[in-house]
Structure 1
Amino acid sequence: MIEELINEGQYSAALRELNDLSDEKTRLLRLVCLNALGEYQQAKTEGMLAKAKAGDTYYDVVAQYVMTLKETGDFEEAINILVEELSMPYIPYEYESTFNAAYDEILLAKQEVNYDLESKSQIFSTEEIELILQRDDVNEDLLYMALDQMQQLNIRMLIPSIRNYLRDPNKPPFAKTLMMELMIEQQIDEEFEVAKNNTYYDFNPSYMPLVLAQTAYMGIGKKLQSALEDENPTLLNQCVDYLEYYLYHIYPKEIYEEDFGVIAAALHYYVATLQNIGVDKDDIEIDYYVDFKDVERQVLALREIE
């Protein structure tokens, strides 16, 4: 009967029936009702006890309790509970997904509050950033907020987490490049292994250039400029934008000077095609001094990174 009342949204009526606080199921259902009614301070008081005494209902109680803490603004306490749970050797899969989602929501809520208080630099602790980097299903907004904050930190504190991130082939390549640039800017002199596009690269930030300081960026850009500056400056800008995206995606792969023309030609042809701009293949060969068969192969490589 009580669960029927809850399913019907009659939380106040259900709460009046939930009086046996010695029963852990009752304690859990009271949390559900209190949260639904917005009685967060009462839920916080009861949730602390329910969590301490929970047995079979433990994971459900934790889920309700961290929801309560989020609503009361106790972000650090909620985060600490979730970090502790997610660090356990075993957690049922369905609750792991729930806790990961709750962790993302709470970090975003914390970020919003801190931003409003003009304390953006204090959004995440080092431990929170480490947990974000370790996760496989992290919210993209959280990932890039963490990367943004890493610019203000001594990156050496995060080297073990960064090392694992860079050599994980399943992590997003663009985020890896941003991490590598952070280490270049802080002059980190250590060897790393970077997995990108089914290839592993050796990387030492101390002697690598930033992405857009590479000779490839300038060299390919000049070839695009020569072909497009007078004919179609708008297309030139679009090609340069895509060139930057391409270089960030493949970094730290080295591009040799003899390949500059083919890559520039492929960018010209590919971006023009995306914009429904007609391009003559013979003109491409003449403008860039390339064989169009090589251009087609490079276009396939560009398509693979979309």
Structure 2
Amino acid sequence: MKNYYDEIMEKINEAVNNNDFDEAFRIVSEELNAPYVPNDFEEQLEKMQSQIIEKLNLKDNNLSNWNTEKVLEIMSKKMDQDVHLMAFDALRGLNARLIIEEIKDYLVDEEIKPEYKTFLLMVLIEQAVDKEITIKKESESITINPSKFNLNDAQDVLRDIELKIEQVVYDTNPSLFSICQHIANTFFYNKFPMLNFDNYSLNDLAMAIIIKATNSLGLELEEYLELKLEFNKENTMLLLNELNNIV
């Protein structure tokens, strides 16, 4: 049975085989920027990234020419936001502080997809940018200082959710677990850093993800699975509606 990481590698290889190197690079960059990447999978991704860069002739012709002006040019392309990941990957080797005002505008721009704001924010956290930064996603906004933000705590939330899901479904349906992992990661990228559990619990979110994954297969959640996890049904249904709008 294929797991989540096997399916991601298949997607990358399919894109490469179709000579769609931009798409392959996008997938690899997205996975490398994930809050948690298993070591063996990370090594595979880095190897694939080098091969894709070589195919794109970016290493000699473009990557060496990256600067903050070029990053800003790519970030301004709102109709093709997938290419923003390439700019953010280049920005990791540059000084994000040089364009911090433009980055601030990007992070509150309502036309930018929430997940791309997450990827850019993670660059700021990686570079320990000591500035108050406001991020707006949908109707929510939050102000944080990247240099003081504890990314490990956020990563622990995602791991805890995946562990709860694993305890409920993995033994009976590993394929369903892989879909749940994908949904959990998508939710994380969409909401980060607004991971607020004041109104619901991790259990509520884990069950909402399981129900969403089950529905995506055209199935109904079996009653005995619901008994494996204590959750608030009303909160779970509200979260399920939210997931339906995200995934």
TM over 0.5: yes
Matched length: 194
Q: Using the TM superposition, give the Cα deviation of residue 128 of structure 1 relative to its aligned residue in structure 2, in angstroms.
A: 2.3
Amino acid at match of 1:218: R
Is this contact kept in 1: 2:67–2:94, CA < 8 A?
no
Partner residue, 2:209:
267
Aligned-residue RMSD, C-alpha: 2.5
**Cα distance change of structure 1 residues 143 and 270 upon mapping to structure 2, 3 Å threshold:** same
**Cα distance change of structure 1 residues 117 and 130 upon mapping to structure 2, 3 Å threshold:** closer
Q: Using the TM superposition, give the Cα deviation of residue 269 of structure 1 relative to its aligned residue in structure 2, in angstroms.
A: 0.6
The answer for unaligned runs of 5 or more in structure 2 is: 1-52
Q: CA separation in 2, counterparts of 1:271 and 1:167?
A: 31
| CA offsets 1:48-85 (integer angstroms, 9 cap, x no match) | xxxxxxxxxxxxxxxxxxxxxxxxxxxxxxxxxxxxxx
**Cα distance change of structure 1 residues 297 and 122 upon mapping to structure 2, 3 Å threshold:** same
Write out aligned runs for 1:1-306 (5 A). 115=57, 118-135=60-77, 137-210=78-151, 213-256=154-197, 259-280=201-222, 282-306=223-247
TM-score by length of 2: 0.70
TM-score by length of 1: 0.57
Q: CA separation in 1, counterparts of 2:137 and 2:58?
A: 37
Is this contact kept in 1: 2:125–2:149, CA < 8 A?
yes
Matched position secondary structure for 1:195 = strand
The answer for unaligned runs of 5 or more in structure 1 is: 1-110
Q: Using the TM superposition, give the Cα deviation of residue 114 of structure 1 relative to its aligned residue in structure 2, in angstroms.
A: 7.2
Q: CA separation in 2, counterparts of 1:123 and 1:112?
A: 15
**Cα distance change of structure 1 residues 182 and 223 upon mapping to structure 2, 3 Å threshold:** same
- Deviating beyond 4 angstroms after TM superposition, the runs of 4 or more aligned structure 1 residues are 111-114
**Cα distance change of structure 1 residues 116 and 266 upon mapping to structure 2, 3 Å threshold:** closer
Task: Give the greater-gyration-radius structure (CA).
Answer: 1
Q: Using the TM superposition, give the Cα deviation of residue 168 of structure 1 relative to its aligned residue in structure 2, in angstroms.
A: 1.5
Provide the identity percentage. Answer: 23
Q: CA separation in 2, counterparts of 1:161 and 1:211?
A: 27
Q: Using the TM superposition, give the Cα deviation of residue 159 of structure 1 relative to its aligned residue in structure 2, in angstroms.
A: 0.9
Q: CA separation in 2, counterparts of 1:211 and 1:300?
A: 28
**Cα distance change of structure 1 residues 254 and 305 upon mapping to structure 2, 3 Å threshold:** same
Amino acid at match of 1:193: T
